[in-house]
Amino acid sequence: MVALEVKRVFKFNGDSSTKAMVDVAIGGEFLVRGFRVINGRKGLFVSAPGEQGKDGKWYRKAYPLSKEAQAELTKVVLEAYEGEGA
């Protein structure tokens, strides 16, 4: 598995379901900005960066290609989020 490292956690105050924006370095060589920590119906989860298309739909710009990579990304991001005094 390629090493993942959280480079920045920017937390939001208030009642919004979006709790933080997170930047993640991949393999120490590539930075992906804009992962979000979301408080959903089943608890916290990590959402991939995306943008809204002209058709009004949201499209992910970066995301894990396997369940294992998703699990590792979630673990690393949520540990960093909670370590920041969530």
Report pLDDT digits (tens) over 36-84.
999 999 999 999 998 999 999 989 888 888 999 999 999 999 999 998 6
Write down the pLDDT at residue 62.
Answer: 85
The C-alpha atoms of residue 81 and residue 11 are separated, in whole angstroms, by: 8
In DSSP terms, 14 is beta-bridged to: none
* Secondary structure class of 61 (helix, strand, coil): coil
Write down the pLDDT at residue 74.
Answer: 95
Write down the pLDDT at residue 85.
Answer: 55
Is residue 86's pLDDT more than 70?
Answer: no
What are the domain boundaries of the chain?
A: 4-83
Structure tokens at 5: 């490292």
Report pTM. 0.85
When the candidates are 3.90.550.10, 1.10.150.120, 3.30.1120.40, 1.10.540.10, the CATH number that belongs to 4-83 is 3.30.1120.40
pLDDT range class, residue 13, cuts 50, 70, 90: confident
Structure tokens at 6: 């959280």
Burial of 37 from C-beta contacts in 10 A (0-12 / 13-18 / 19+):
buried
